[in-house]
Amino acid sequence: MTRKTKRTIWISLAAFVLIVGGAAAFYFGSILNQLNGLQKEGDESPFAGIENVEKVNAPDPPKWEGTDTVNILVMGVDARGLAKGEVPRSDSMMVVSLDPLTKKINLFSILRDTYMNIDGHGKERINTAITHGPNTAMKAASDLLGIPVQYYVYTDFQGFIKLVDAVGGVDFDVEKDMHYTSKADNNEYDIDLKKGYQHLDGNTALMYVRFRHDAMSDFARSERQREFLKAVAAKMQSTTTIAKLPSILEEVSPYVDTNLTLSDMWKLGGLGYQSSMNGSEQIPPMNMLKEERTAGGAQVLTVTNEEKLKQHIQDIIHPPAEPEDSSTVTEDKTASGDEPKSSEQPAQ
């Protein structure tokens, strides 16, 4: 190989490294810029009009040690028809729990009509907690589940549509025909889906997760939301989607607010990519709730045993160790040549 040929190869390699390095710098720089924009402050915050929001006690985000379970409250709201600065009730509430040791994710969807004590505001439906600020909403979710909820992510219908469209839509099996019309919102969010496996874009995906006009109402809807969120999470972990991450973040950023810092998002994003879904649960589960009526006559859902519910959550996040089978231990000892010892004393 001539000196000129070697020089050409080295120049080509150097150019390749510079191009790749520049592309990587642009990629990660774009991601950092977009992540910075997710945390809204001042007038840009959807909670700017709420006074004394930060006076509510909420758990401080833990210093990342790589061992603490992290719990994130994800809230979707319907902001249609509200005045500027007015905070709507949450249409959906989910807590995403990530365990960095097992690298497992648990998803808990909270029924919005769950009736409980909202810290500082008396007994209300849990979906009203966000109208008092994100700290109040996190505290309510924490009190219900019995786990520290350190972070929140808040978005509206438009943010959901933008996210699904940005990842290229999701192939999903719609389990039945879904149809609903409403003149109240000028038919803007009517629902019309046919049963079967199909490609859902942002608008049709919103139809799917909003539908509750059947016998199981919000119970079935919360299950659909969990299943669809798992499908979106799986799509987000694909190599193709990761490559498009800067443009995805650019699309959803105007519609999202969170208390996650840039450092938090970077670390948790890496953890989420390495983790797998462990399971999803409706909270409260059917066997721990009852329907009641408030003093005003409105129907709500209450928890029959709060401590039992909190233990149920702990058993899901940190499953108790299975007791060792004594018969198996005896068999193992016999197989190894060790006879079980008798409790009787030998005859004198």
For every residue of 230-259, DSSP letters joined together read HHHHHHHTSHHHHHTHHHHHHHHGGGEEE-
Longest CA pairwise span in the chain (Å): 99
**Which residue(s) pair with 98 in the sheet?**
70, 105
pLDDT value of residue 284: 92
Whether the ω angle into residue 88 lies within 30 degrees of 0, i.e. cis, is no
Look at the pTM and tell me if it is higher than 0.75: yes
CA distances from 86 to 18, 45, 53, 184 (A): 49, 11, 14, 19
**What are 222-263's pLDDT values in tens digits?**
888 888 888 888 887 776 666 777 788 888 888 889 888 877
What is the tens place of the pLDDT at every residue in 275-323?
A: 888 888 999 999 999 888 876 778 899 999 999 999 999 999 988 877 6
As a whole-number percent, the residues of the chain with pLDDT over 90 amount to 32
Q: How far is CA 181 from the centre of its chain?
A: 29
CA distance 280 to 282: 7
What is the chain's length? 348
The CATH number of domain 16-319 is 3.40.50.720? no
> What per-residue string of b and e applies to 151-185 under the rule 16 or more CB within 10 Å gives b?
bbbbbbbebbbbbbbbbebbebebeeebeeeeeee
- Residues 327-338, mean pLDDT to the nearest whole number: 50
Asked whether the predicted pLDDT for residue 55 surpasses 60, the reply is no
Q: How many CB atoms lie within 10 A of CB 339?
A: 7
Q: Where do the domains of the chain lie?
A: 16-319
Segment among 6-10, 16-20, 246-250, 328-332 with least mean pLDDT:
16-20
| Number of Cβ within a 10 Å radius of residue 298 | 11
Average pLDDT over residues 36-58: 70
- Residue 113 contacts residue 125 (beta carbons within 8 Å): yes
pLDDT at 275: 82
- Whether 235 and 167 have beta carbons less than 8 Å apart is answered as yes
| pLDDT band per the 50, 70, 90 thresholds, residue 27 | very low
Neighbouring residues of 56: CB distance < 8 A, sequence distance ≥ 6:
119, 120, 132, 133, 135, 136, 139
Q: What single letter denotes the amino acid at residue 149?
A: V
